[in-house]
Amino acid sequence: MMLFTLILLPLVGGVIACWSQRVHQDAPKWIASLCLLLSLAFLISIKLFTSMDPSNLWLVDETLAWIPRLNISAHFAMDGLSFVLILLTLLMGLVGLSSAWNEISQHSGFFYGNFLWTLAGIIGVFLAMDLLLFFVFWEVMLVPMYFLIAIWGNENRRYAALKFFLFTQAGGLLMLLSIVALAVLHYQQTQILSFDYQVLVQSPIDSEFAKWICLGFIIAFIVKLPAFPFHSWLPDTHTQAPTPASIILAAVLLKTGGYGLLRFVLPLFPDASQFWSPLMMGLAGISIIYGAMMAFSQTDLKRLVAYSSVSHMGFVLLGCFSLNFYALQGAVMQMLAHGVSTAALFMLVGLIQHKFHTRDLNQLGGLWSTLPKLSAMGLFFGMASLGMPGLGNFIAELLVLIGTFKQAPMFALVATSGLILAAVYSLRMIQKSFFGVSVNADENRENKTGHTSKQIITDLNAKEKITLMLMCLSLIFMGLHPQPIFNLVNGSLIEIASLFQASFQPEILLIEVQL
pLDDT (tens digit, 9 = 90+) per residue, 151-161? 988 888 899 99
- In the prediction, which pLDDT does 61 show? 87
Q: Is the pLDDT of residue 440 over 60?
A: no
- Average pLDDT across the chain, whole number: 86
**Helices (DSSP H) in 201-324: which residue ranges?**
210-224, 233-240, 243-248, 255-260, 266-268, 270-297, 301-321
Q: What is the pLDDT of residue 446?
A: 42
**Kind and range of the H or E element at 368?**
helix 367-370
pLDDT the model gives residue 455: 59
The whole-angstrom separation of Cα 46 and Cα 42 is 6
Say if residue 276's pLDDT is above 50. yes
- pLDDT the model gives residue 191: 85
- Cα separation, 343 vs 337, in Å, equals 10
pLDDT at 257: 92
pLDDT band at residue 338 using 50, 70 and 90 as cut-offs:
very high
Please write the tens of the pLDDT for every residue from 5-50. 999 999 999 999 888 888 888 888 899 999 999 999 999 998 888 7
Nearest 5°: the CA angle 340, 244, 422 is 40
132-146, 451-465, 496-510, range with greatest mean pLDDT:
132-146
H, E, C per residue of 241-277: CCHHHHHHHHHHHCHHHHHHHHHHHHHHCHHHHHHHH
Res 414 pLDDT > 50: yes
For residue 383, pLDDT over 50 is answered with yes
CA distance 414 to 284: 10
CA atoms within 13 A on the CB side of 33: 11
Backbone angles phi, psi at 47, to 5 degrees: -65, -40
Does the structure show a pLDDT above 60 at 290? yes
CA torsion angle 426 431 433 438 (round to 10): 180
Percent over 90 (pLDDT), the chain: 47
Tens-place pLDDT, residues 494-514: 888 888 755 445 444 443 444
138 — pLDDT class (breaks 50, 70, 90): very high
Provide the pLDDT for residue 458: 81
What interhelical angle do 2-20 and 27-48 show, nearest 10?
170
Going by C-alpha positions, the residue among 194, 173, 263, 500 that lies closest to residue 205 is: 194
- What's the rounded mean pLDDT across residues 482-491? 90
Burial (CB < 10 A; 0-12, 13-18, 19+), residue 462, is exposed
What's the pTM value of the predicted model, to 2 decimals? Answer: 0.91
> Taking a C-beta distance cutoff of 8 angstroms, is the pair 161, 146 a contact?
yes
Q: Tell me the per-residue pLDDT of 175-207, one tens digit each, with 9 for 90 and over.
A: 999 999 999 998 888 888 889 998 898 888 887
Q: What pLDDT sits at residue 54?
A: 54
Mean pLDDT value across residues 129-133: 93
CA gap 491, 316 in Å, rounded: 19
pLDDT over 80 at 445, yes or no: no
